[in-house]
Amino acid sequence: MTSLHDTASRGFASDNYSGVHPEVLAALADAAGGHQPAYGGDVYTQRLQEVFAEHFGRPVTAWPVFNGTGANVVGLLSMLPRWGAVICAATAHIHTDEGGAPEKAGGIKLLPVSTPDGKLTPELIATEAWGHGDEHRAQPAVVALTQSSELGTVYTPEELRAIADHAHAQGMRVYMDGARLANAAASLDLPLRAFTSDAGIDVVGVGGTKNGALGAEAIVVLDPEAADGLVYLRKHQMQLASKMRFVSAQLLALFEGDLWLRSARHANAMAGRLRAGIERGLDDGTIRRVAFTQQTQANAVFATLPAGVADRLRERFRFYDWDAATGEVRWVCGFDTTQDDIDAFVAVIAEHTSGL
């Protein structure tokens, strides 16, 4: 089949827009020959347990799944009693971007909390962590965090430890949505264990798709006491791959070596280059009336644009509005974003704002 799209096209809508990393494609080809047991009995899924144990500094159980929504729903279900509720940031993916899957597919009550930067704190969690023992209130049982957050910010290990200690003291567990876990590690310049298992996180969803995989995520149980029934829930929620070796092979391609970190560092660096280029333009007057709304700590840049400018920019580069009412937009870089992509985008921003 010939390609149906312009393979030179680039945008800043999402790291989901990127292709598959060549090393991941090669791993899929290597895994394709012959027969292997289905449903996770293959050697690739078994090896994945060892690789993640090395990353998290302890024996773990890794459950490969197809996508991030599946990881979140299945992971949270395994941590909750039927009457349990999940405290999350109001910007959390489980609350805003999963089509109601936690509520509809999982029957999970979400307790969203407004945050200035996408990050929860013990004080913010306390605003919803009440009513324990009250039969009229869904019982707060899990705190769900996103690392890096939906606003491109990153929790430090100290912040996470404070949250975990606060949650555990009230009998709650902590789940981490790690769709961009690699970008957080690159930003912090720390191993995965430093801000997961060592910080008191109980279960983490490890992302691969946004970092160069074709479609591969995993639910990694760090504390076996925190989750139950995953062997049934994964099938029940339609996240059990029959040919699981091809999901696990992708994750091995990323995490057995340093591809996960190399790719995330590059994506973060491109976001930093984008912000720096706009800042230079603001300083020298070639770019006007662009303002940043969040720190750029991972691979996303959040900014406001003058009315009408976003649509003109989108004629060349695809990206999303984050808050159309305020003119806030989000620009995301991926493993395949190039310096030329960034420089061309900065030039287009200058072209459409310099005369304002």
Strand order across the beta sheet in which 328-332 lies: 291-292, 300-304, 328-332, 320-323
* 277 domain-assigned: yes
Burial class (CB in 10 A: 0-12, 13-18, 19+), 33: exposed
Contact 281, 287 (CB under 8 A): yes
Whether this model's pTM surpasses 0.95 = yes
Domain that holds residue 185: 22-257
Asked if 250 and 265 sit in the same domain, the reply is: no
* 7 domain-assigned: no
What's at 79, amino acid-wise?
A: M
* 205 domain-assigned: yes
Q: What is the CATH number of the domain that holds 211?
A: 3.40.640.10
pLDDT in tens, the chain (356 residues): 788 998 888 899 999 999 999 999 999 999 999 999 999 999 999 999 999 999 999 999 999 999 999 999 999 999 999 999 999 999 999 999 999 999 999 999 999 999 999 999 999 999 999 999 999 999 999 999 999 999 999 999 999 999 999 999 999 999 999 999 999 999 999 999 999 999 999 999 999 999 999 999 999 999 999 999 999 999 999 999 999 999 999 999 999 999 999 999 999 999 999 999 999 999 999 999 999 999 999 999 999 999 999 999 999 999 999 999 999 999 999 999 999 999 999 999 999 999 88
Residue 305 tokens, joined: 């644009």
Contact 155, 119 (CB under 8 A): yes
Asked if 189 and 310 sit in the same domain, the reply is: no
Asked if 284 and 162 sit in the same domain, the reply is: no
- How many domains, in total, are found in the chain? 2
Asked if 117 and 190 sit in the same domain, the reply is: yes
Nearest to 56 by CA among 158, 192, 260: 192
